[in-house]
Amino acid sequence: MCGIVGYVGVNLAKQELIDSLKKLEYRGYDSVGITILNSSLETCKAPGKISELESKLPEIDGYTGIGHTRWATHGQPTEQNAHPHLSGNISVVHNGIIENYHQLKDELIEMGYEFKSETDTEVIAHLLHLNYQQSRDFHTAFRKTLKLLEGSYAVAAVCEDIPDEIIAGKKNSPLVVGLGDNCNFAASDITAFLKHTKDVIFLEDLEIAQIQKNDVQFFDLEGKPVEKEKTRVEWDLEDAEKAGYEHFMLKEIHEQTKSVYNTFAGKLSELDGSINLDELNLTKKQIRNLNRIELIACGTSYNAGLIARYLFEQLAGIHTNIDTGSEYRYRNPVFCEDDDVLSIAISQSGETADTIAALQSLKSSGCNTLAITNVIGSSITRDADDTMYIKSGPELGVAATKTFTSQLTILYLLAVHFARVRNKINTDDSRNFIRALKKLPGNIQKILNSKDTIRECAEQFSDVSDYFFIGRYTNYPVALEGALKLKEISYIHAEGYAAGELKHGPLALITDNTPVVAIATPGHTYDKTLSNIMEVKARNATVIAVAEEGDHEINKYVDIVLRVPETEELLSPILSTIVLQLLAYYTALARGCSIDKPRNLAKSVTVE
Ligand code: M6R
């Protein structure tokens, strides 16, 4: 995830910015840059690590500057795309996604602005320049610019004409001001300046900070002064990296309100129910002609693929197969001459050896290939014909959480897009779907608000040695994912089953000491799931149901109910999975496990 810093003080800004950027390295990044406000703007950027920037940085005097670590979302991690972005005598760094940047960019190009990067951020620099030319007042220009932006942003900017000052503002992306001694900071997180000060002021959305070395003023977007309270944080550096959460996994679970939003931001058009997947090179004709999709993935990504199979078949009417990378590569799949196959490889890291090998094999069989990944420029993107990025930000916990829900989100978008192109759903249906998608971040927040109930449940069963997870239809992969998450971080043996399969064997293992988690959200298999719940109840199992808020019927059948908000049947896996992520997390916590780095596991599995 990108990181912003701004420094104004009495020390050389160059060293202060480099030190602060290093403190943000834990967030993950793939390019870096700084602008120092001397008598002119001195900017230096580099793809790769901060050390690469340091090795090319000239001596620069100057006591004010802004810096950025970029985690690519729009365009490759190149020097051109690295921040800061410049327009005339103005330099800008930005975190977030500007949803209306296409439209703004077209307008600016028409006015004669030239774009040097592929980023959404560059529109902010040019808008700021344009507005400054018109008003000749940098603060007015900054406010006017922020008003034009849709989406999320934390922005810091400097202007050559205004020495010793940084201006910063935010909406839906964090920004905090650090109050030092003879120096002040702006940053996307406290770690950036913690060694200088623990006195901070958090900006609220649509607030602006005007930062000088001995003074900070706050305003709203109309320019009216805002009174802000100073907070003293008692975090040490490690706490601050985790934003106060005990583990990265818990932080990443909480980030899902944001990461899911980032995945769909700018892609939904409620007006005509269309999905804008500009980055997809597949033509409408190719989409119409498809007669099969082959999904390839491993682990959690495979579980996302299992859900996608239902989506592509049900929504878009395309026959869909799925296999794990490690199995596909040793099969001898049969292709017919008139096959028109799209192969989709799903991998959060983009580096999983088995998935990449299977994708290469599908490509050599003549399939069109599409990679869905979180990491720009990862190996899989070089092999695939086409790539879609899930934009969930770096995930540092080994257990995949936010990348799973973002994978699902992009797969929903793809399935609805295919369905539209193939005339399988009408405008009203896709509009409803878009509305439901837009409600997801709020619904995820509701689940996070109920985490104490999930924690109590987890603690109650943290001593058991076996757990079962059951579900039908799209809740079957949710059950698999719930079991995978639990075994991975708590080391409890857990099995995920299609609920209808229990009676074909595993029922023999059910006792009064095997909790069974039943994903029982509303849908066409709900009644059947209730029957399966009764089967395990008859064997004295304790049943924990994941059920919808308004479902009171379920209380009659189960021992504990963990609630998810109401949503579309096809979207409910995203919500149910978050409940199961929290269940796994709190179980592992109660057992004192190493949650972020579980034994025997790695974040990227680059070996066969
Ligand atoms: O990077 P990928 O999505 O290709 O990784 C696949 C699996 O290794 C990964 O999902 C693994 O199962 C996670 N540890 C699950 O939490």
Instruction: Inform me whether the pLDDT recorded for 271 exceeds 80.
Output: yes
Helix (H) or strand (E) holding 587: helix 572-590
At residue 589 the predicted structure's pLDDT band, cuts being 50, 70 and 90, is very high
User: How far from each other are the two terminal CA atoms of the chain, in whole angstroms?
Assistant: 29
Q: C-alpha dihedral over 577, 582, 583, 588, to 10 degrees?
A: 130
Instruction: Inform me whether the pLDDT recorded for 338 exceeds 80.
Output: no
Kindly state the average pLDDT of the residues 461-473.
Answer: 97
Q: Are 325 and 346 in contact (CB under 8 A)?
A: no
The response to whether residue 87 sits with its C-beta less than 6 Å from ligand 1 reads: no
Instruction: Inform me whether the pLDDT recorded for 253 exceeds 70.
Output: yes
DSSP for 48-69, written as a single string: S-HHHHHHHPPP---SEEEEEE
Cα dihedral sign for 447, 451, 454, 458? positive
Q: Look at the block and give the residue holding tokens 């840059």.
A: 33
CA angle 199, 201, 207 (to 5 degrees): 165
The response to whether residue 349 sits with its C-beta less than 6 Å from ligand 1 reads: yes
What SS3 class is residue 300?
A: helix
Q: How far is Cα 190 from Cα 200, in angstroms, rounded to an integer? A: 8
Could you tell me the two tokens for 503? 């009676």
Distance of CA 18 to CAs 7, 327, 397, 484, 501, Å?
A: 10, 46, 26, 40, 57
Instruction: Inform me whether the pLDDT recorded for 227 exceeds 80.
Output: yes
Q: In what order do the strands lie in the sheet with 386-389?
A: 320-324, 292-297, 341-347, 368-373, 386-389
The residue whose CA is least distant from atom 9 of ligand 1 is 299
Kindly state the average pLDDT of the residues 581-599.
Answer: 95
Q: Are 543 and 559 in contact (CB under 8 A)?
A: yes
Cβ density class 112-129: b for 16+ within 10 Å, e for less: ebebebebbbbbbbbbbb
The residue whose CA is least distant from atom 7 of ligand 1 is 299
Instruction: Inform me whether the pLDDT recorded for 237 exceeds 80.
Output: no
The response to whether residue 96 sits with its C-beta less than 6 Å from ligand 1 reads: no
Instruction: Inform me whether the pLDDT recorded for 605 exceeds 80.
Output: no
pLDDT at residue number 606: 66
The response to whether residue 488 sits with its C-beta less than 6 Å from ligand 1 reads: yes
Kindly state the average pLDDT of the residues 248-264.
Answer: 95
The residue whose CA is least distant from atom 4 of ligand 1 is 347
Catalytic residue status for 2: yes
What backbone torsions phi and psi does residue 37 show, to the nearest 5 degrees?
Answer: -90, 100
Kindly state the average pLDDT of the residues 329-355.
Answer: 88
Q: Are 28 and 147 in contact (CB under 8 A)?
A: no
Instruction: Inform me whether the pLDDT recorded for 603 exceeds 80.
Output: no
Q: Look at the block and give the residue holding tokens 């931001």.
A: 265
The response to whether residue 305 sits with its C-beta less than 6 Å from ligand 1 reads: no
Amino acid symbol at 369:
T
Helix (H) or strand (E) holding 246: none
pLDDT at residue number 445: 97
The mean pLDDT of the chain is 93
Q: State in Å: Cα 495 to ligand 1 middle.
A: 17
Q: Are 8 and 63 in contact (CB under 8 A)?
A: yes
pLDDT at residue number 282: 93
Q: State in Å: Cα 257 to ligand 1 middle.
A: 21
Helix (H) or strand (E) holding 171: strand 166-171
Q: Look at the block and give the residue holding tokens 């650090």.
A: 178
Q: State in Å: Cα 349 to ligand 1 middle.
A: 8
Model confidence over 429-442: pLDDT tens digits?
A: 999 999 999 999 99
Model pTM above 0.85: no
Q: How far is Cα 69 from Cα 393, in angstroms, rounded to an integer? A: 13
Amino acid symbol at 192:
A
The response to whether residue 81 sits with its C-beta less than 6 Å from ligand 1 reads: no
Ligand 1 atom with the smallest distance to the CA of 352 is 4
**What domains does the chain contain, in order, with CATH numbers?**
3-233 (3.60.20.10), 240-438 (3.40.50.10490), 442-596 (3.40.50.10490)
Q: What is the DSSP letter of 559?
A: S
Model confidence over 157-216: pLDDT tens digits?
A: 999 999 899 999 999 888 999 999 999 999 988 889 988 998 999 898 999 999 999 999
Q: Are 15 and 50 in contact (CB under 8 A)?
A: no
Q: State in Å: Cα 301 to ligand 1 middle.
A: 6
At residue 75 the predicted structure's pLDDT band, cuts being 50, 70 and 90, is confident
The response to whether residue 320 sits with its C-beta less than 6 Å from ligand 1 reads: no
Pocket test for ligand 1, best of 349, 407, 585 (most atoms within 8 A of CB): 349
Kindly state the average pLDDT of the residues 4-12.
Answer: 96
pLDDT at residue number 453: 97
The response to whether residue 399 sits with its C-beta less than 6 Å from ligand 1 reads: yes
Q: Look at the block and give the residue holding tokens 């989406």.
A: 151
Model confidence over 487-542: pLDDT tens digits?
A: 999 999 999 999 999 989 989 999 999 999 999 999 999 999 999 999 999 999 99
Those residues whose C-beta lies under 8 Å from the C-beta of residue 49, and which sit 6 or more positions away, are: 32
Those residues whose C-beta lies under 8 Å from the C-beta of residue 569, and which sit 6 or more positions away, are: 474, 521, 522, 523, 524
Q: How far is Cα 198 from Cα 240, in angstroms, rounded to an integer? A: 11
Catalytic residue status for 144: no
Kindly state the average pLDDT of the residues 111-139.
Answer: 96
Pocket test for ligand 1, best of 247, 322, 348 (most atoms within 8 A of CB): 348
The response to whether residue 301 sits with its C-beta less than 6 Å from ligand 1 reads: yes
* Nearest residue to 514 via CA among 495, 497, 498: 495
Could you tell me the two tokens for 103? 């439209």
The response to whether residue 249 sits with its C-beta less than 6 Å from ligand 1 reads: no
Q: How far is Cα 108 from Cα 41, in angstroms, rounded to an integer? A: 22
What SS3 class is residue 280?
A: coil
pLDDT at residue number 608: 63
- Burial (CB < 10 A; 0-12, 13-18, 19+), residue 416, is buried
Q: State in Å: Cα 226 to ligand 1 middle.
A: 46
Q: State in Å: Cα 604 to ligand 1 middle.
A: 7
The response to whether residue 483 sits with its C-beta less than 6 Å from ligand 1 reads: no
Helix (H) or strand (E) holding 418: helix 402-421
Q: How many CB atoms lie within 10 A of CB 76?
A: 14
Pocket test for ligand 1, best of 247, 249, 298, 585 (most atoms within 8 A of CB): 298
Instruction: Inform me whether the pLDDT recorded for 325 exceeds 70.
Output: yes
Among residues 439, 487, 528, 603, which one is catalytic?
A: 603
The response to whether residue 601 sits with its C-beta less than 6 Å from ligand 1 reads: yes
Q: Are 294 and 367 in contact (CB under 8 A)?
A: yes
Stated length of the chain: 608
pLDDT at residue number 607: 65
Q: State in Å: Cα 399 to ligand 1 middle.
A: 7
Q: Beta strand 184-187 with 3-8: parallel, antiparallel or unpaired?
A: antiparallel
Q: How far is Cα 465 from Cα 349, in angstroms, rounded to an integer? A: 31
Q: C-alpha dihedral over 78, 277, 380, 85, to 10 degrees?
A: 10
Beta bridge partners of 345: 296, 371
Pocket test for ligand 1, best of 301, 381, 398, 481 (most atoms within 8 A of CB): 301
